[in-house]
């Protein structure tokens, strides 16, 4: 049986987030794509300053609804990321990983979601870009719902 390529979506705060953080998330996505070419594809959010508000909602929620694995960086407050997580929790039975920097306090709603969906999700603290990528790759290798992909 031929395994399909895993589609991942990485959500995070954009508006109001420090430029350093936005660059960090972009580097994580690029690193994941380069290290796992042919095994996974990173779905892209629309981003700031591109398209209308309706376009942003349509594209970003569309990515949430078609991804196989959802990753959320919760280092900065984000209504948009909260909406994405809510849509994923209500509308999808897919694995998810919530990541937060080890130096920060984390939103209890996000960490509580993991505690209520242990079979699907995990919360982890990362220390660096390389560490975040290793956490994501490790989760993708061992989660039972992701065994059907080339990645595992």
- Condensed to tens digits (0 to 9), the pLDDT of residues 28-75 reads 999 999 999 989 999 998 888 888 999 999 999 999 999 999 999 999
pTM of the model as a whole: 0.92
pLDDT digits (tens, 9 = 90+) for 9-27: 999 999 989 999 999 999 9
Which SS3 state, helix, strand or coil, does residue 10 take?
Answer: strand
Residue ranges of E strands in 5-128 = 6-11, 40-43, 69-73, 96-101, 121-126
pLDDT digits (tens, 9 = 90+) for 79-136: 999 999 999 988 788 999 999 999 888 888 888 888 888 888 999 999 999 999 999 9
Q: Is 92 exposed, middle or buried, given 0-12, 13-18 or 19+ CB atoms closer than 10 A?
A: middle
Instruction: Using alpha carbons only, give the angle 149, 111, 119 rounded to the nearest 5 degrees.
Output: 40
């Amino acid at each position: 049986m031929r395994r399909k390529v895993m589609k991942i979506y990485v959500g995070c705060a954009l508006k109001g987030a420090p430029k350093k953080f936005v660059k960090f998330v972009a580097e994580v996505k690029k690193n994941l794509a380069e290290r796992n070419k042919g095994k996974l594809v990173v779905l892209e959010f629309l981003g700031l300053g591109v398209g209308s508000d309706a376009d942003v909602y349509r594209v970003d929620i569309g990515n949430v609804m078609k991804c196989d694995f959802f990753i959320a960086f919760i280092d900065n407050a984000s209504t948009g990321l909260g909406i994405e997580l809510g849509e994923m929790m209500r509308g999808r039975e897919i694995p998810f990983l919530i990541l937060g920097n080890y130096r920060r306090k984390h939103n209890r709603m996000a960490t509580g979601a993991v505690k209520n969906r242990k079979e699907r999700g995990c919360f982890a603290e990362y220390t660096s870009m390389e560490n975040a990528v290793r956490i994501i790759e490790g989760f993708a290798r061992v989660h039972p719902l992701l065994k059907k992909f080339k990645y595992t």
